[in-house]
Amino acid sequence: MNFELKPLTTAAAVREKCDLLLVLVTEATATGSDALSTLVAHAVKAGDFETAAGKQLALYGLPAVAARRVVLLGAGSGSARDVRQAVAGAGSALKASGGGKAVLCFGFEVTGGAVAAAVVAAADACYSYTHTKPQAKPVALKKLVIAATGASAASGKSGDKGGDKGGIAAAFKIAVAQAEGMALAREWANRPANHATPMLLADAARALAKLPGISCKIHGPAEVAKLGMGAFMAVAQGSEQPLRFIELHYNGGAKGAAPVVLVGKGITFDTGGISLKPAAEMDEMKFDMGGAASVLGVFQALAQLQPAINVVGLIPASENMPGGAAVKPGDVVTSMSGQTIEILNTDAEGRLVLCDALTYAARFKPRAMVDIATLTGACVIALGGLRSGMFSPSDELARALEQAGDAALDPCWRMPLDEEYGEGLKSNFADMGNVAGRAGGAVTAAKFLQRFVGDIPWAHLDIAGTAWKSGAAKGGTGRPVGLLLHYLLASVDAGKAPSRAGAPKSVAAPKAGSASRRKAAAAVQPEQA
């Protein structure tokens, strides 16, 4: 879906020819003097409509309104959070617009954050998975015009200060890139494991490398063995699908400037290995590459925005299968760092592929590195599906990630990393075990990873509760693309470095052809994936 930003008042928006006009309404809207504001005031006074976030009123055949259909959307206080709720609730209207164009109008003075929330929520509501559903009908809506007074008419260029009240145009541009990145992440997360193998993930990375500023290198089994990634190889050895170690580079900053490294867990399907998971909901283990999918999504957005920063993306991709060659509980492997690991639970595999990728990341001498992983069921129990768990010994990095998550409405919560949590990782037969029991499982998993980062500023995002939804709404969420993107943009050197002109076309997503989850997470494995 295409987005367009127009500096339209409510009075002007009603004259815009479209199939659907959505009007975001607050109490302030009802005090306006135009015809639509007057209508809102009457509806509120009559008790037919409330301005609370999520409330709706459909209207038809309004005189002097060019749209075939009008829907009033209560936007509460007009905050970004309330706007997101309002637009998310209009998903059915957007999907059933019956035509190619809709207009989303703000009936109040709007901020850049609210505009961004509307864009991301609309894109989310209109997403439709079709890759393995050849009979599925694509969403008819092709274009959504965002009508906001105070917006620049210059289509959201970050350098355009004139007329861009509240940074609306700049926020719009970032939101569109974020939405496209999230769509790419969702699409790859949603694909069944036989349509998203390690080799196919590598192909997706190669596709991104066709965009300006991005390069890609794919390491196969022989190269990974040469690097000494014994922990990563141990996870992959039970599968007939060969592993891939994906290395992406976005070079937008000064040559030689230290990059930020993103490491995404890429377990394309997780059976648990010899420590086999229960059958119930095992199909959801296709989502165990949610960290990898988010890295792909971030690079999609970076290619579109072209910020002045260097970023490296690393994805250790493999399956975790219980084949005849699979690693066994009690086996000891040697990681790339030289540290030995006793594999006490083969279902704690994510930390094994990540630890070697983190060791590899050090060669780039990064200013910071962040790993992203659907790592532990314990984190789902602790935080549910609202906030991702965030672990970091760096107060500065932790603060930056928290602020980025808040700005993107993709929040995280800082968790502890006390040294005592690492005591349970002691082993009689190796430098460490890969698990430390059920208690504090999300923390002990992070403590395991911390042993491979040295003095580099590092954070671990456990997205086991936020990367996908279960139940009737089962599917990937695209999180935490928003959090990561906002963090990277805030990290641009001097905070003011201009974006490079000439944004390229986006990479298209692959074309078509619950309570129970939390219960399972509590009952089983130390690792969600």
CA-nearest of 488, 459, 462, 480 to 395 is 459
With a CB cutoff of 8 Å and minimum separation 6, the contacts of 346 are 272, 273, 274, 275, 320, 322, 326, 327, 328, 329
Quick check: 430 and 332 in contact, CB under 8 A?
yes
Q: Which residue has the tokens 């970032």?
A: 174
Catalytic, 451? Answer no
Quick check: 14 and 94 in contact, CB under 8 A?
no
Q: Longest Cα pair distance anywhere in the chain, in angstroms?
A: 80
At residue 198's C-alpha, the angle toward residues 385 and 377, to 5°, is 25
Order across the sheet with 56-60: list the strands.
Answer: 2-6, 143-147, 101-106, 20-25, 69-74, 56-60
Q: Which residue has the tokens 């274009």?
A: 143
Burial track 343-374 (b if 16+ CB lie within 10 A, e otherwise): bbbbbbbbbbbbbbbbbbbbebebbbbbbbbb
Catalytic, 351? Answer yes
Q: Is 4 exposed, middle or buried (0-12, 13-18, 19+ CB in 10 A)?
A: middle
Q: What are phi and psi of 143, to 5 degrees?
A: -145, 135
- Given 3-state DSSP classes, what are the helix, strand and coil percentages for the chain, each rounded to the nearest 5? 40, 20, 45
Rounded CA-CA distance 453/449 in Å is 7
Token reading at 360: 């590899």
Rounded CA-CA distance 23/468 in Å is 30
Token reading at 63: 């005189």
Quick check: 527 and 349 in contact, CB under 8 A?
yes
Query: Which of 277, 387, 451, 517 does the annotation list as catalytic?
Result: 277
Rounded CA-CA distance 59/71 in Å is 6
Query: Which of 186, 244, 286, 351 does the annotation list as catalytic?
Result: 351
Rounded CA-CA distance 462/449 in Å is 12
Order across the sheet with 332-334: list the strands.
Answer: 332-334, 340-342, 432-433
Rounded CA-CA distance 110/163 in Å is 13
CA-nearest of 80, 478, 51, 33 to 300 is 478
- The neighbour count for residue 452, using CB atoms within 10 Å, is 24
Rounded CA-CA distance 397/420 in Å is 22
Any idea which residues carry the catalytic annotation? 277, 351
